[in-house]
A = this chain, B = another copy of it.
Amino acid sequence: MFTIGKASEQSGVNIETIRYYEREGIVPKPGRSPGGRRLYSTDEIAKLRFVRRCRNLGFPILIIQTFLSLTIEDDRSCGEVKALAENHLDEINAKIENLTRLREALLGLSANCDDGTATCPMLDALMKDGFYA
């Protein structure tokens, strides 16, 4: 059994974040030492690591909770997981597209910016009517 500091080290999840996950019911409450300290088993630490990896993949907490319940149910999990992952993939692709369009717009706007001018063509363009959305 490990105290929260070790659990944090081994899982890569910040101590405060671990406590937050517990408060929110994202991970189950761990046992306590006689002195009142949280004690984590390797299984519980694995679960924390799982949450971190999912977060790193950009999954929102709600989806991760579904994942966790699916790993318990163990039944027709894979289809649901795949669907959630593909949904998430679509969102990621949409974000990439948005950002790419944004980059183009920004490049176009700042292209005419040259240092030393009195009024800035980029700010001008953003202020004027009839331009850009």
Give residues in A with beta carbon < 8 Å to B: 12, 46, 49-50, 53-54, 56-58, 67, 70-71, 74-79, 81-82, 85-86, 88-89, 92-93, 95-96, 99-100, 102-103, 105-107, 109-110, 113-123, 126-127, 129, 132-133
Contacts and interface: CB of A to CB of B under 8 A. Distances in A.
Contact of A123 (B81, B93, B103, B123): B81
A70 B124 CA distance: 11
Contact of A133 (B56, B100, B119): B56
Given A50-B126, A57-B102, A77-B119, 9 more contacts: A57-B109, A78-B116, A78-B120, A78-B121, A81-B110, A82-B110, A82-B120, A85-B106, A85-B110
Contacts of A81: 110, 113, 120, 122-123
Given A99-B96, A110-B85, A110-B89, A75 B118 contact: yes
A46 B127 CA distance: 6
B89 A106 contact: yes
B77 A123 contact: yes
Nearest to A54: B126
